[in-house]
Homo-oligomer: A and B are copies of this chain.
Amino acid sequence: MSMLPATREQCEALDAADPLASLRGLFALPDGVVYLDGNSLGALPVAAPGRIADAVERQWGRDLIRSWNTAGWVELPQRVGAKIASLVGARADEVVAADATSVNLFKVLSAALRMRPDRTVILSETGNFPTDLYIAQGLIEQLGARHSLRLVGRDALPAAIDDSVAVVMLTQVDYRTGSRLDMDAVTAAAHRAGALMLWDLAHSAGAFPVDLNAAQADFAVGCGYKYLNGGPGAPAFLFVARRHQPAFSQPLSGWMGHAAPFAFEAGYRPAQGIARYLCGTPPVLSMIALDAGLDALLAADALGGLPALWRKSLRLTALFAARAQALCAGHGLRCETPMDDAGRGSQVSFTLPDGSQGYSVVQALIARGVIGDFRAPDILRFGFAPLYLRHVDAWDAAAQLSAVLDSGEWRRDEFHARAAVT
């Protein structure tokens, strides 16, 4: 890109002129930290502590059980879901917030297989996020030997969608490389073969504009704690296209998905619409944190919303990738993220010639205040949440990466000890 800044001063000037700059003030970022892991755990919205304290002290402590009605706890899955819907091109009644992504995937994958009883294959790609594959494996084992999971490389996907495929299950943005699939094209290919399309939006929702209905996607799931800033382990979400809601149900048929949960009927009758994809009682405190995270993201609507955030993200990732490669060329740093605008998500991933270096380099960077993460076997991953990151952050992070490599400090023992979560 010809417009990339060439000095730190030019970065500062871009930040000063950035119409989105004020959004950073909606987040509580610690001093001295460049946070490039918002794709793993989004930053804390300034409004969240107060919202959560109110939920704890007033709604739970003072109003007690009455808050299911008076504070609207009972509608939280739908209310929060409607906010998420506005970010992913869905109607308000096509999304609910609930459970964990893996649990939601089990629900919609089950529903998809029921819709294609004559087909037996779940198609995905070899590099899909492992928990998605594990859930597919668990479901197939549950259903007996009739079904199978077919895994192919990304390039082989189009040819692999044949008339045995019930559902194509893909994560739009590869969690390692940041490579992004064309939602419209892949969905159309699935439909041409008579298959259903299920998208995992873990690294998409809140990062860039997604239009599930324009693509005619059938199902989707996504994560609440990455670009939606819902806090650690925030509830996830699921999308079911309105046209598919009435006909099918899912096996996690808990009381919150019942047509009349408080009638205490002995037989399960699924609720009308998306509510039939709910199961148990929602974790209210975590749900309210997610609601606060969404409000911070939706505050961008007045400033151009996701299209504007996405344009900024593209600048930030292009700047970081170019600058880091320029500074670290001597160390063999290789960018694994496609640099065409349509081809990537909101992250930049590198590898180094010796794959075993990556973990220690990331730890040494964290010690310098630049928080990215390492993804086995060899990926240095840097997420760019355009809501709260600046051009100077991209500039400084590249400089620190270069300093870690130039100094060799990543070789120090302290950066080799593996933590439980990497």
Q: A residues near B, CB below 8 A?
A: 28, 30, 33, 35, 37, 40-41, 43-44, 48-49, 52-53, 55-57, 59-62, 64-69, 73-75, 99-103, 106, 110, 126, 130-131, 133-135, 137-139, 141-144, 151, 225, 231-236, 249-256, 258, 262-268, 279-287, 289, 366, 371, 373, 375-376, 419-422
CB distance from A295 to the nearest CB of B (A): 15
Q: Which residue of B lies closest to A287 (CB)?
A: B233
User: Could you say which residues of chain B place their CB within 8 Å of the CB of A74?
Assistant: 420-421
A225: B residues at CB distance < 8 A: 281
28 A-B Cβ contacts within 8 A? Answer: A40-B65, A44-B61, A56-B231, A65-B373, A73-B421, A74-B421, A99-B103, A99-B280, A101-B280, A102-B279, A103-B103, A106-B251, A106-B252, A130-B258, A130-B264, A130-B265, A134-B254, A134-B255, A134-B267, A135-B254, A138-B249, A138-B252, A225-B281, A231-B285, A232-B281, A233-B284, A262-B376, A286-B286
A265 partner residues in chain B, CB cutoff 8 A: 130
Extra A-B contacts (14), CB below 8 Å, given A35-B64, A67-B232, A263-B376: A41-B65, A65-B371, A68-B420, A68-B421, A100-B254, A100-B280, A102-B254, A138-B250, A138-B253, A144-B144, A236-B280, A283-B285, A284-B286, A285-B289
The 5 closest A-B pairs by CB, nearest first: A100-B280, A102-B254, A138-B253, A44-B61, A232-B284
Shortest CB-to-CB span from A396 to chain B, Å, is 17
Cα separation A395 to B109 with both chains bound (whole Å):
53
Shortest distance from the beta carbon of A30 to any chain B beta carbon, whole Å = 5
Partner of A60, one of B33, B57, B231, B282: B231
Residue with the highest number of chain B CB atoms closer than 10 Å, among A35, A130, A420: A130
Given A130-B264, A134-B254, verify A69-B280 contact (CB < 8 Å).
Answer: no
Q: How many whole Å from A230's CB to the nearest CB in chain B?
A: 9
A421–B268 CA distance with the chains assembled, in angstroms: 18
Q: Contacts A30-B62, A64-B43 hold; do A102 and B263 have CB atoms under 8 A apart? A: no
- Give every chain B residue within 8 A of A254 (Cβ-Cβ): 100, 102-103, 131, 134-135, 138
Pick from B73, B103, B126, B376: contact of A232, CB below 8 A. B73
Q: Which residues of B contact A142 (CB under 8 A)?
A: 110, 142-143, 251
Report yes or no: A251 in contact with B138, Cβ–Cβ below 8 A. yes
A231-B253 Cα distance, complex, nearest whole Å: 23
For the complex, what is the distance from the CA of A53 to the CA of B30, rounded to whole Å?
Answer: 16
- The chain B residue sitting closest to A255, CB to CB, is B131
A279 nearest CB neighbor, chain B only = B102
Residues in chain B near residue A64, CB distance under 8 A: 30, 33, 35, 37, 41, 43, 371
Chain B residues with CB below 8 A from A55, complex form = 232
Distance in angstroms from A313 CB to nearest chain B CB is: 19
Residues of B within 8 A of A232 (CB): 55, 59-60, 67-68, 73, 281, 283-285
B43, B66, B143, B283: the one contacting A233 at CB < 8 Å is B283
- CB-CB under 8 A from A281, the residues of chain B are 100-101, 225, 232-233
- How far is the CB of A96 from the nearest CB of chain B, in Å? 14
Q: How far is the CA of A263 from the CA of B264 in the complex (A)?
A: 44
Instruction: Chain B residues near A73: list those with CB within 8 A.
Output: 232-233, 421
Q: Which residues of B contact A135 (CB under 8 A)?
A: 252-254
Give, as a whole number of angstroms, the nearest-CB distance from A111 to chain B: 11
> Which residues from B are CB-within-8-Å of A279?
100, 102-103
Shortest beta-carbon distance, A385 to chain B, in Å?
12
- In the bound complex, residues from chain B placing their C-beta under 8 Å from that of A419 are 68-69
Contact A44 B28 (CB under 8 A): no
Known pairs A106-B251, A376-B264; A53 contacts B60 (CB<8 A): no
